[in-house]
Every structure is written in structure tokens, then in C-alpha cells.
Structure 1
Amino acid sequence: MSLAEKIIKLRKEQGWSQEELASRLDVTRQSVSKWESMSSVPDLDKIVKMSELFQVSTDYLLKETTPTETEERCTHPDEIRPAVRPVSLKETNLYLDLAPRCHRNIALALSLFILSPICLLLLSGAAEYHILPLGETAAIAIGCSVLFVVVAGGVALLLPSCMRLAPFEYLELEPISTEYSVIGVVQAKKEAFAPRYQQGLVVGVSLCIVSVVPLFLSYLLENEFYSVCAICLMLAILSAGVHILFRVWAAQEVYQKLLEEGEYTRAKKAENRRNASFVIFYWCLATAIYLAVSFYTESWNKTWIVWPVAGVLFAALLALKEMLYKNRNPS
């Protein structure tokens, strides 16, 4: 079977037209037509892109094979290729309409979680340094009550939004086949959103960096209560930065999921499916270690260090796991 025959066969298996394949490869329909008619041969980078799109090895595409040699088609021999899920224009429009509203609520919930300790910090600080005629016990009780109410409000925003988005989780894990009109609609929206995405990243990251400035300035005042106020101001600025970053990041993720780009290519989805059990086990173990150490030592102000260490170790272990997997199953 020649390269041209394989392109035709794989394209039809996905239910794609020449125009749709051309759009995904960022070439013209005429280029795809020439490849399939054996008038020309695709460049190496396009062959690599096709191997990711069709979830086959480059060897399968380039080597002459017989129709029975199907075992080479999978990028990894022991990996079962999931069925490609069709996504209609109606489903796409529903997701494009629902996702921004849910992401707005999730971003607000994250901001509330960051803001939640501010009242506790201010009241306990004011009571400790006699700024307010309030006992420390009463200040802590009121502050904790406000903290739990704010957190509860965040949870009330977060959970329903996540549940409404749950039916679209397949976009993160399964290979999808979209109608040709869908590609054009999503691509146009993504291009129109690009300036706002870049602006949001700049503003969000800048706010996160600037948020530590009040803390440094408070050291010049040599007043403990001002330091408490500086921490509260830092949390307020940080919450605004996180809110903006999540909104633009989530919107960009919507387009990447529908176009199978970035972290949502078929190769990445296959990798995520392989690592799903490991991710759940690892973070459950990290949480158990954090709680055990914190309750045993009663040093909650120090045991938070478990989380950054766990994050760095997680990235290292995941990279090592993928390296070992690829060594066992070379393309």
C-alpha cells in the first residue's frame, strides 16, 4: 500500500474531506489532492503532523505495506486506538456558548478561595495590635466564619459549573472528528480571540508579579499590622491576576480542544489516558502525606512546603514514566 493510498484510507476512516484534512495540516486542498493522486509527496513535517492526526507511526506512512500489515498502524503496539467521536456543529455551538459562562464562575470561585482568609487576617491582626476593641478569640471566630462563608460561596459556584461541563470531558481524552464547517467557525473565533488572549496573559502575569510589592514595602514601615495589611493587599491583587489568567487560559483551551491542538492533540490525549491512574494515585498519596505530617507535627505553617515539592516531583516522575514508556515502545 503506497503513501497516497494510506492517506486516502486514513482520511476516509476519520470521515474527513480533502478540505478538512488540508485545514488541519495548514495546506491547500490542492496539495492534499496531489498527494492522493501521487502527483507530489508531502514534506517531512506534514508526514509527522499526519502521523499525529491519524495516530499512526511515521514508519507506517512511509513504508510500503500490504493491506494485512495493520499492526504497524498504532503509534505503540500495545496501545488500543479508541474510536473517533464525531462532533457536530450543534454540539460545538453548545460548548462554545456554555464554556465561557462556566469558566467565568470557576474563575470567580478561584478568586474567592484566594480572598477568603483576608477577613481573618485583618481581624486577628487588629485584635492582636489593639487596633479594634475586639478580643483575639472573638476576632478569630468572626474571621473564620467569614472565611467558611466565602469558601462555601466559591464551592457553590465551582461545583455546578464543573458538572455542567462534565458531558464535554470527552474533548480532553478522546480523538474527535468534526464537521468541516466546525473547523472554520472555531478557527475564526480563535483568531479573533488571540489579541485578547495575549493581553490577558500580560495583565494577569503582571498582577501576579506586582502582588508581592506591598509586602516588600511594608518592611519599610516597621509596623507589624501594616505587614498584615500588606499580605491582605497581596492576596487581593493575586486574586485579580489569577482571575484574568484563568479566564483567558480557559477560553484558549476551548478552541484547542475543538481543534485538537496544543495539549489536546491525539498523541497528548493518548498520553493523558495512559497517565490518568498514575495522576490520581500520586495526588491522593501527596494529600495523605500532607495531612499525616501536618496533624502529627501540628506545624501547618510549615507543612505547606509539601505542595511545591510534590508539584516538582510530579513533573519529574511523569517525564520519567513517559521516557521509559517510549523506550519500551519506540515509534
Structure 2
Amino acid sequence: MILAEKIMEERKKNGWSQEELAEKLSVSRQAVSKWESAQSIPDLQRVIQLSEIFGVSTDYLLKDECETPQPIEGVEPSDKDFPLKKVSVEDANDFMEVRKKNAPKIAAAVAACIVSPSVLIFLAGLSEAQIGNISEGVAASVGLVCLLGFVAAAVFTFIFCGMQTKRFEFLENECFETAYGVEGLAKEKLKNYEGTFTRGIAVGVVLCIVAAIPLLVAACMDAPDAVCTSFVSLLLILVACGVYMIIRVGMIKGSYDILLQEGDYTISEKKLKKKSDAFSGAYWCIATAIYLGWSFWTMRWDFTWIIWPVAGVLFAAVSGIFRAVMQNEKKKIE
């Protein structure tokens, strides 16, 4: 291996991003990027620093024929030296292609879940306003059939797409190495996609914001209940369109971040995610137990549902505190 490949390999073994390694060396991220892409070579002082930081000898870094890291005396080997899964160019292309094909499907499935109650709400409004001779029973029946149909189609899509991407799950959850050319390929695709991603996020966010305007205007003008109910359905449809745009472009960009192990997919973030996932599972089990216990004790099922929105808001706060504490503990150890 050449020096560029060794720097990249050792950095990933230690779970550092290019920014984190650059901070340790007091250089720019661009400098580290150029070293890893063999566009430039670090000077002797930087090589010595890299040797000390990685815990390997300078001979290993500088001699291409040295394939096995030679530890510095006094530095004990750690579990970071165990071999990692290696992702080839073919695997990377397959992963990006599958994500690109599944992105609109997953986005449409999420949008279907959001829009699923819109027919029920719309027909219920017409029935209440006695428009179109629609009885309450017909409105409820047709609305529920549409709701369950949308949800069933969405669940089928989630399962189908999940089975297709199952073999790539380790990319999101585990540390891995990339073969020569994978990082450059992902960076090039990410660079070309940035414009599309920005536009998609912007359009999606704007749609979610303006979705409430018709309903707010109708409420301010004291519009009939049937009109307000119709605008609730319109709100759900517009929000669904916005979420579709956000998820579609987000999944495609996410595939590049996953291969580059950047953003939410750095090695340190993956390690933190494993701990936070265990916390999340315990949290929601406790929330469910409280809900069921309170509901059966009081038999006030019409009121105890309030636990879920409270638990959702509280989870965001508690999860943020948990992650902050874990990051502080990591810094103390380092």
C-alpha cells in the first residue's frame, strides 16, 4: 500500500473523520483529503506526527512494501487493529444503485402514510355538512378502506425495499474499509448531486410550510366546517408531497455519506448510535408499559393517549441529553 492508502486506513481504524485528524495535526481538512487521494505528500514532521497519532512506525507509513502495521514501542495494540469489512467498487455501485431505485419508493410509502387519513377526513366533512347525500356510515367505511389500503401498500413497500437492502445494512451500522477508487467515486457523485439535493430539500420544506396557509385563511374567514375539513385534507396532501421530496433526495445523498462515512455515518457516530439505539428501545418499552398500566388501571382510554405526544416530545430532549453525555464521556477518555 502507498502512504495515501495507509493514512486513510489508519484514520478509519481509529474512527476519525478527516476533520478530526486535521485538528490533531493542526492542518486543514483539505490537506488531509489531498494526502489520502495522493494529490500531495505530508512533510517529514507530519509523517512523524501521523506515526505517533496512529501508534505505528514511520517505516510502515513510508515503505510501500510494509503491508502490516508496525506498532511503536510502548504503544499497546487495541481492538481497533482487527480487520474490517472491505467494500469494493462493485459493491459500492450496487449499493448506490439500489438506494437510488428505492428512494422514490420509500418516499412514496411515507407520503402514503401521511395522506392516508385525508379521504376519511374529507368524506366525514361532507357527511357532516350534508353535501352529496353521503351518510356517516358510508363516509367512515370508504374512508377507513382508503386509509388501510394506503397503509398496507406502504408497509409492503417498506418490507420489499428492506429485503433488497438487507445485505448492505452493515454499511450503516458497522465500521468498514473501502477499496481503492470507492471514495473518489462517492465524492464525485456527491459533488454532482449537491445541487439537486439542495433544491429538493428547499422545495420540500417550503411545501410543508405553505401547507397550513389555506387552512389558516379559512379559519380566519370563518369558513364553513366543510371547507375547513377539506383544507385539512389538502394540508396532508401538501405535507406528503414535501416529505416525499425531502426523503427522496435525502436517501440518495445519504448513500454517498454512508460510503464516505461522513455526516451522520462517521465511525464515531455509528458507535454512539449503537448505544443510543439500546436506550431508545428501553425508553419506548417503558412508555408503552406506562400507557397500558395507566389505561387498564383507570379504563380512561379516551384520555390516556396523551402519553404518546408527551413521550415523543420528551424523547427528543432525553435523547439529546443522552448523546451529549456520551460524547462528553468519550472526550474524557480521549
Q: TM-score, normalised to structure 1's length?
A: 0.77
Matched, 1:41 2:49: no
Task: Tell me how far apart the structure 1 counterparts of residues 128 and 229 of structure 2 sit (CA, whole Å).
Answer: 11
Quickly say closer, same or farther: Cα 1:200–1:288, change in 2 above 3 A.
farther
| 2:326 corresponding residue in structure 1 | 322
Task: Tell me how far apart the structure 1 counterparts of residues 82 and 121 of structure 2 sit (CA, whole Å).
Answer: 51
| 2:34 corresponding residue in structure 1 | 27
Instruction: Give yes or no for contact 1:82–1:175 (8 Å, CA) kept in 2.
Output: no
Written as runs of structure 1 = structure 2, the 5 A alignment for 1:298-309 is: 298-299=302-303, 302-309=306-313
| 2:275 corresponding residue in structure 1 | 274
Query: 1:143 offset after TM fit, Å?
Result: 1.0
Letter of the structure 1 residue corresponding to residue 85 of structure 2:
R
Written as runs of structure 1 = structure 2, the 5 A alignment for 1:104-143 is: 104-143=104-143
Letter of the structure 1 residue corresponding to residue 33 of structure 2:
D
Task: Tell me how far apart the structure 2 counterparts of residues 319 and 13 of structure 1 sit (CA, whole Å).
Answer: 22
Matched, 1:237 2:238: yes
Query: 1:144 offset after TM fit, Å?
Result: 0.9
Task: Tell me how far apart the structure 1 counterparts of residues 190 and 75 of structure 2 sit (CA, whole Å).
Answer: 39
Written as runs of structure 1 = structure 2, the 5 A alignment for 1:188-203 is: 188-203=188-203
Letter of the structure 1 residue corresponding to residue 333 of structure 2:
P
Task: Tell me how far apart the structure 2 counterparts of residues 288 and 223 of structure 1 sit (CA, whole Å).
Answer: 42
Q: TM-score, normalised to structure 2's length?
A: 0.77
Instruction: Give yes or no for contact 1:84–1:175 (8 Å, CA) kept in 2.
Output: yes
Which shows bigger deviation, 195-204 or 310-319?
310-319
Quickly say closer, same or farther: Cα 1:9–1:86, change in 2 above 3 A.
closer
Matched, 1:297 2:301: yes
| Structure 1 unaligned spans of 5+ | 1-5, 15-21, 57-64, 75-79
| Structure 2 unaligned spans of 5+ | 1-5, 15-28, 57-70
Query: 1:194 offset after TM fit, Å?
Result: 0.5
- RMSD of aligned C-alpha atoms? 3.5
Percent of counterpart pairs with the same letter? 26
Equivalent residue of 1:222, what SS?
coil
| 1:181 corresponding residue in structure 2 | 181
Query: 1:207 offset after TM fit, Å?
Result: 0.6
Task: Tell me how far apart the structure 2 counterparts of residues 161 and 34 of structure 1 sit (CA, whole Å).
Answer: 44
Quickly say closer, same or farther: Cα 1:114–1:27, change in 2 above 3 A.
same
Written as runs of structure 1 = structure 2, the 5 A alignment for 1:144-155 is: 144-155=144-155
Q: How many residues end up aligned between the 2 structures?
A: 296
Quickly say closer, same or farther: Cα 1:55–1:27, change in 2 above 3 A.
same
Task: Tell me how far apart the structure 2 counterparts of residues 107 and 253 of structure 1 sit (CA, whole Å).
Answer: 14
Query: 1:165 offset after TM fit, Å?
Result: 1.2
| 1:209 corresponding residue in structure 2 | 209
